[in-house]
Each structure stands twice: as C-alpha cells, then as structure tokens.
Amino acid sequence: MRKYCSVVVAALSVFSFIQTADARGGGSGHSGSHSVHGYTTKNGTYVQPHMQTNPNGTRSDNWSTKGNTNPYTGQPGTKPLDISPGYR
C-alpha cells in the first residue's frame, strides 16, 4: 500500500508540474516553442543556444513581450506589444 501511495504522489507531482509549465507556455513537448542552435552573427557576436516561441503572426504570446514570462529563464518580457495590422 505504501509503495502504491508513493507512485500516485509521484504521478500527481509530475502531472501538476506539466500543467503549471503548460500554463506558462512551457511544458513537455513544447508544441509552441523550438530550440535554436548557437550561431555567430555577421558582426561576430556569438548567440547562445536558446528556446524560442514558434512564429505565428502575433507578438502577444512571445516570451519577450511585456506581460509574459520566459518559462525557461523566469525573465519577464520587456518588449511592447505591437498592435500593427499585421500582428493581431
């Protein structure tokens, strides 16, 4: 019985973590994000590998937009929401 309870508690903990991460835009499987390999820009600046939201024609759900938080770093977004006709 004790082993069964431990398994149930562990399963509920994982389920709770996944739901919390999904609510923040993260979680396992990240259908809304992808990894970006490190690269060097034209001016020689190296950009570290990182995660990025998938392009979808809106900035409202990007982690860098004000009001959103990057689920990987915990950093709040700083960029303003673009309300131009191309981004609705």
Residue 26 has pLDDT above 70, yes or no: no
Residue 79 has pLDDT above 80, yes or no: yes
- For the chain, which residues make up each domain, given as ranges? 1-88
> What Å distances lie between residue 52 and 18, 73, 75, CA to CA?
18, 12, 13
Residues 9 and 56: their CA atoms lie apart, in Å, by 37
pLDDT at 58: 85
The tokens describing 51, both together, are 């995660």
Number of H helices, E strands in the chain: 1, 4
Residue 49 has pLDDT above 60, yes or no: yes
pLDDT at 56: 87
Residue among 69, 86, 87 nearest 78 (CA): 69
pLDDT at 16: 46
Higher pLDDT, 84 or 18: 84
pLDDT at 57: 83
* Beta-strand pair 39-40/33-36: unpaired
